[in-house]
Structure 1
Amino acid sequence: LIIGASILGLIMMGGLAASYVNVTTPLVIHTATTKIAVQTDILDKILKGLLPLLTVTGVYLYLEKVKRNYTVAMLIILVVGLVLGSLGILK
């Protein structure tokens, strides 16, 4: 019963993370004849919501495997988001 409840809780947390974390990229690859949008033409065809999944997985691995410092994790997310956003890589 406890294992089933923990699995249900993990599924619910995964659903919440997928619906609340929003990471997109406006990058476009220009070829000779067409434009290929990285987000819609490549990443979403591999797996819908791949960037939010990678973000949540990266934060989880940092907190679980590296060290459990939530303040540093939030600062890393803030700095990475600001740098990648100012470079135009993420939205």
Structure 2
Amino acid sequence: MMKTTITIQNLKCGGCVNTITAKLLEIDNIVEVQVDKDSSTVAFRYKDPEDAFKVKEKLKKLGYPAVDNKNSLLIKASSYISCASGKMQEGSF
């Protein structure tokens, strides 16, 4: 297994962290997901480079694109939805 860290955009709170962690762990061959809200990073272990690409794509769909991706208004809106979903999971609404 290899390990990598991606710096992302739009990471705001614990709700975001919950959503990102849960959604990335649904991807095959992705383990040990660690989201650091203070540094806006997502670290994880993966089996093949293709798995890491899937994580990057999933993060973008959730509204948390890597810093080397464009952060459009639509992507920002997606992050608010993911954030709210994560807050509901932790019961902080």
Pick the structure with more strand per residue: 2
Give the TM-score normalised by structure 2: 0.31
Bigger RCO of structures 1 and 2 (CA < 8 A, at least 6 apart): 2
